[in-house]
């Protein structure tokens, strides 16, 4: 009975904290692949041991455990300024912030095994995507928007699901089309985004989730106007994630 309860708890937790959905994560990987240097691309291919980068991007969601389930997000109170935000983020353990730094450290560790580096790379690829999903840097009390029920396109959903997959699915593009359509940053934007670190990525998501909370009420019927305004934010966040992921991998493997 205890094993059964634990299994149900893990499954429920995994459902609650999924991010972008497979489609969004795979698109982040496709965009990143286009911005990798030849050396980094070869190193990524070798480290993944034949696994496609888009499949590596979804592996951490498909292989959640009680230990790593909390690595995909961070809970914070609303209303923090940047200085208090940084202090709060650095003061928590077992979050997306610490998990990402640990995964990068494993990739840089010459004593880490090939299997350890393989998993670490999977998490680096995945967690960059997670860091750019606004509802993964949000409030604990509503489980990142999971308990805020809304309706969209004639169906019931919740605020987290709306942002990780429903708005993306409504757009009706394939992953390849999304990668082509979203990846339109100028060279200046690419250079700027790749100069930012994970704290900046998380701060941007925190600001966005704070705005989303203000603009989305429990029970709200999500309008087409809401979709049109916010799908543009999703375009930018996925593009930023892909471009920044490439920047991180270029630094690691060059």
Q: Report the CATH number at residue 211.
A: 1.10.575.10
Q: State the chain's mean pLDDT as an integer.
A: 92
Query: pLDDT per residue over 48-78, tens digit each?
Result: 999 999 999 999 999 999 889 999 999 999 9
pLDDT of residue 21: 85
Domain that holds residue 121: 2-253
Relative to beta strand 221-222, strand 137-138 is unpaired
- Domain count for the chain, please give it: 1
Q: Give the Cβ contact number of residue 131 at 10 Å.
A: 28
pLDDT of residue 254: 87
Query: pLDDT per residue over 8-50, tens digit each?
Result: 343 333 344 455 789 999 999 999 999 999 999 999 999 999 9
Question: Cα(64)–Cα(89) distance, rounded to whole angstroms?
Answer: 22
pLDDT of residue 4: 38
- Does this model's pTM top 0.85? My answer is yes
CA atoms within 13 A on the CB side of 131: 29
Query: pLDDT per residue over 134-178, tens digit each?
Result: 999 999 999 999 999 999 999 999 999 999 999 999 999 999 999
């Amino acid at each position: 009975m205890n094993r059964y309860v634990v299994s149900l708890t893990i499954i429920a937790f995994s459902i609650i904290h999924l991010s972008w959905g497979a489609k969004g994560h795979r698109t982040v990987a496709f965009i990143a692949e286009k911005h990798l240097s030849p050396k980094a691309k070869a190193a990524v291919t070798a480290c993944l041991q034949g696994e496609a980068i888009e499949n590596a991007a979804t592996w951490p969601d498909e292989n959640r455990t009680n230990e790593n389930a909390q690595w995909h997000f961070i809970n914070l109170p609303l209303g923090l300024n940047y200085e208090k935000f940084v202090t709060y983020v650095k003061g928590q353990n077992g979050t997306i912030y610490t998990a990402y730094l640990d995964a990068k450290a494993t990739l840089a560790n010459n004593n880490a095994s090939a299997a350890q580096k393989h998993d670490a790379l999977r998490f680096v690829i995945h967690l960059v995507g997670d860091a750019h999903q606004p509802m993964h840097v949000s409030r604990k009390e509503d489980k990142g928007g999971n308990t805020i029920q809304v309706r969209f396109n004639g169906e019931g959903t919740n605020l987290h699901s709306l942002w990780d997959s429903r708005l993306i699915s409504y757009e009706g593009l394939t992953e390849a089309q999304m990668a082509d359509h979203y990846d339109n940053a100028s060279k200046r934007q690419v250079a700027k985004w790749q100069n930012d670190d994970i704290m900046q990525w998380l701060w941007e998501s925190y600001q966005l989730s704070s705005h989303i909370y203000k603009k989305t009420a429990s029970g709200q019927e999500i309008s087409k106007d809401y979709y049109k305004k916010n799908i543009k934010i999703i375009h930018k966040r996925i593009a930023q994630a892909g471009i920044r992921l490439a920047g991180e991998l270029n630094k690691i493997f060059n």
